[in-house]
Chain A
């Protein structure tokens, strides 16, 4: 964490140290902005992860769709939206998991849950 920023409970602050730790993961996600790369990811996730030199621990986080763990490993939330989309996980589904709730439980906490 940067010198001037103090930790905030239950919050990841995406700074350069975290970005550097998540470099491989984020670079893989950045590639998913291309339709051809999305197809490649969906066709063979393991080969795709290997191509981006993910460590075994990082691969495990992707395999298990551990979104909380991916954020802690340095994946940026906006990068994660791309891997979420490629794996059929919307922002709200990923968010529910990060909160430790089911999707339905999470929706009940919203003001107007129809605005999805």
Chain B
């Protein structure tokens, strides 16, 4: 039987990609961010997951507004590196697990989550920044397989926070129903506080971000009541991405224990990191 062994909530700021690729890990402005992932990678090396389910959003790279799915799940054995308008990062194609994806599609749709199923999908910074921080790729590939789950957090109406949380709970049921002995981690990406447009560009709110991580750990069911309006007012319009962290949290059991927590807000985005180990 497959099982979820861990969950990670983390930001997917695009500038982290080029900073990583240019070797800025020791640059004083970036070091606090990159150093926070060293213990996380050590922890993951002990957990030895086989697959990562990555809950993320595309930034108008592979999904144009002409047809914009609310939830889209990858069902392929590989995923291309998408060009989001500034060229592609020098990363190997992402390895998928189509059999596991197909199982998830079947179970989730039976469970009334009417997903868009993608047999071809390109992934960009929303997926690649978090994955490469947790599971650095080499020229020979990635250390784990992935299942990308793309969520509309860009074009309102968005799914509610509660819906995202329930999707996580359904993912847990689907994983536990898979006959192969897979160890699965789930990443909820995006946020934290940020606003990237209007006169309020650059708005951040560390107090909100710390509160969100507290609630995510101790009161996720209560946190799932949060409205888009509240997130946007308190943490900036683009902070609404945080609803994807609730999908990750929903996939964990009540026994899940928080392991790491970090926060760094150098420029325009509160970059949070929180991990949970599940039994």
Contacts and interface: CB of A to CB of B under 8 A. Distances in A.
B154 A12 contact: no
B266 A85 contact: no
Contacts of B211: none
B29 interface: yes
A57 B64 CA distance: 23
Contacts of B228: 5
Interface in B32-89: 33, 59-61, 64-66, 82-87
Contacts of B237: 8, 11-14
A79 interface: yes
Interface size on B, as a range, is 35 or more
B263 to A, nearest CB: 11
Interface of A: 2, 4-6, 8-16, 19, 23, 26-27, 29-30, 32-35, 38, 68, 71, 76-82, 85-86, 91-92, 95-96, 98-100, 106, 109-116
27 contacts: A4-B229, A8-B200, A8-B233, A10-B199, A11-B198, A11-B236, A12-B237, A14-B237, A15-B156, A19-B65, A19-B155, A29-B60, A30-B65, A33-B60, A35-B87, A78-B59, A78-B154, A81-B85, A82-B85, A91-B268, A110-B202, A112-B267, A114-B29, A115-B33, A115-B267, A116-B29, A116-B267
